[in-house]
Structure 1
Amino acid sequence: MLNKQRIWVAILGLAAVIIIGCASQEYASANLYIQQEEWAKAKEFLIKAIEVEPDNPEIPYKLGYHIYALQEKDWEKMNQSFDKALAIDPNKTILG
């Protein structure tokens, strides 16, 4: 059972590295905590990631969506985060 858990954690870690690519350690950690639904840690590392990668619109978007909207239901902070993401990326490429 323990080996299966270790394998699962390793797979998640590898997937995060592949998906994130050259992202900062803070952003990579935030994404792992989001996947693991550890919301307090995810918030902590998303806030740190914004400081390290201020030009990455995905970070304030994820903070607004995963933390402020889904977890805290803080619509004002959600809107502020989305506005920050749109200010960085006015063409909305993060939306696909």
Structure 2
Amino acid sequence: MMELTSLGTTRALFVMAAEPEYGPQLRARFTPLITGIGPVEAALHVGIALARLEAAGELPDLIVCLGSAGSRRCALGSVHQIGSVSWRDIDASALGIEP
């Protein structure tokens, strides 16, 4: 179940692709919308969530997308600014999710 998280006066919607990315440190801070892996899944589930939130008069002020972006090399807790995006086959087997 997704919830908006208050960050001071800002209401944030946290979004993650897969449950294995949602570790104990994050669980203590927020409840994200889990979308499933892939851009189509993310767009679909975020769109549905925003439509429901809008209907309830509760749109977030901010959407924060967190996760590994499919990387097996990113250090836990590191922050990266994305410079470009390319489409590639998605392999989520490292997260224990088989096609």
TM over 0.5: no
Which has more helix, going by share of residues?
A: 1
Which has more strand, going by share of residues?
A: 2
Choose between structure 1 and 2 for higher RCO, CA contacts under 8 A separated by at least 6 residues.
2
TM-score by length of 1: 0.31
